[in-house]
Amino acid sequence: MPRAHVPAPPRRPRAPLMEIDPEGLDDEALKEGLADAVLERVNLANLRGYRTMLERVVLRGCRMTGIQFAESTLRDVLVEDCRVDLASFRYSRLERVVFRRCLLQDLELTEAQLSSVVFEECDLSGADFAFARFARSEIRGCTLDRVTSVERLRGVAMPWPDIVGFAGQLAAAIGISMIVEGEEE
């Protein structure tokens, strides 16, 4: 079995950190993008960023339900202990991004390009990977119930126990059915 290339970790924000008023962070402010920022326990729910750039950003304990980053670039980003359900990264590029212990239910990654992205101990239930492209990425200890476009996970490495737990969905995605011994037809 071939071994996967280990994803590069995100780079940390550089000092001095960008000063951000969490109360003033809205769709208009996102147009400017974020760089060298640390946001903790901030409500970013339903924000929309179109062609936005997030670079060297840390998001911890944030509420990001329904956030949308269409045609955006996220580079060197850590998203940790956040609620990011119903989010969309449609047509976006994610490079050296880590999602750790996040709720990512119903995540949409349609035609996203993901390079050195790690999903660690996340709930990805209902995630949509339609036409997504992965390179040097990992999924570790995640819930993957009801994900769509499973075949688009080419380029993802997973620990063996995770692969075994996901085997049924992988088999169904490529049309393999199970033979149950002893059943009469």
Do strands 34-40 and 53-60 pair parallel, antiparallel, or not at all (unpaired)? parallel
Specify the pLDDT at position 89.
Answer: 97
Least Cα distance to 51 among 32, 24, 23, 75 occurs for 32
Question: What is the C-alpha separation between 129 and 169, in angstroms, rounded?
Answer: 14
Token pair 């149950």 is found at 180
pLDDT at 1 (0 to 100): 55
> What pLDDT score was predicted for residue 9?
79
Domain range 22-173, CATH architecture: 3 Solenoid (2.160)
Q: How distant, in Å, are the alpha carbons of 19, 67, 87, 127, 167 from that of 164?
A: 45, 32, 28, 19, 5
Q: Are 72 and 54 a contacting pair, CB within 8 Å? A: yes
pLDDT in tens, the chain (185 residues): 556 567 887 888 887 677 777 777 777 777 788 999 999 999 999 999 999 999 999 999 999 999 999 999 999 999 999 999 999 999 999 999 999 999 999 999 999 999 999 999 999 999 999 999 999 999 999 999 999 999 999 999 999 999 999 988 888 888 888 888 876 65
Distance CA 104, CA 125 (A): 7
For residue 28, what pLDDT is reported?
A: 79
pLDDT score recorded for residue 110: 96
CB 56 within 8 A of CB 35: yes
Q: How far apart are CA 98 and CA 93, in angstroms?
A: 13
Q: What is the pLDDT of residue 183?
A: 67
pLDDT at 140: 97
Has this prediction a pTM greater than 0.85? yes
Cα–Cα distances in Å, from 61 out to 94, 116, 138?
20, 22, 22
